[in-house]
Amino acid sequence: MKKHFFLLLFTVVVVALQAQNGPELKNSELKADIQDIADQAANDLRGCCSKWGGNDLQAVIHWDEKDYDENYMTRLSKLTNVLNITMTVSWTGSMSGTYYWIKGKLSYNLDNGSRNWTKISDSGGFTPGCSQGCIE
């Protein structure tokens, strides 16, 4: 009985240490830091995907969005120390006045500062693949 209780307790502790999900992060003191990381990535993406820049740059974090397995897509893994930020980056073209957006996942390693961007979808009107390889 003691052995089963210990295993159950160990499992609960490990699961509790694995991640903070989007709503928890949104309501934590890390929110502003996470937004800063998203804003920097948004600026880099606009630089890769817009020849003439743009106005009204925004990085909207999807705090409450879940994947097909019902896991929050924006989360912090305490085991790997990687922050995954699902977000939509948008701006208005400075020359065209067209509204552009790119939705994707930014993975940010808190230990070494490395970043990786994976595009999910976009509005079109960009050079094909401009966001792939932009943030590494």
Compute the distance between CA of residue 6 and CA of residue 8 in angstroms, rounded to an integer: 5
| Residue 41 confidence (pLDDT) | 96
For the chain, the maximum distance between any two Cα atoms, rounded to a whole number of angstroms, is 71
User: What is the pTM assigned to this prediction?
Assistant: 0.82
pLDDT category of residue 18 using cuts at 50, 70 and 90 = low
Question: Which residues, 6+ apart, have CB-to-CB distance to 116 below 8 Å?
Answer: 106, 107, 135, 136
DSSP H/E element including 38? helix 31-49
Dihedral of alpha carbons 124, 129, 134, 136, sign: positive
Per-residue pLDDT reduced to its tens digit, 55-109: 999 999 999 999 999 989 999 998 999 999 999 999 998 788 889 999 999 999 9
Can you read off the two tokens belonging to residue 123?
């509005």
Picking from 63, 127, 58, the residue whose alpha carbon sits closest to that of residue 99 is: 58
What gap in Å lies between CA 48 and CA 45, rounded to an integer?
5
**Sign for the pseudo-dihedral over CA of 59, 63, 64, 66:** positive
Each domain of the chain, given as residue ranges in start order, spans 18-122
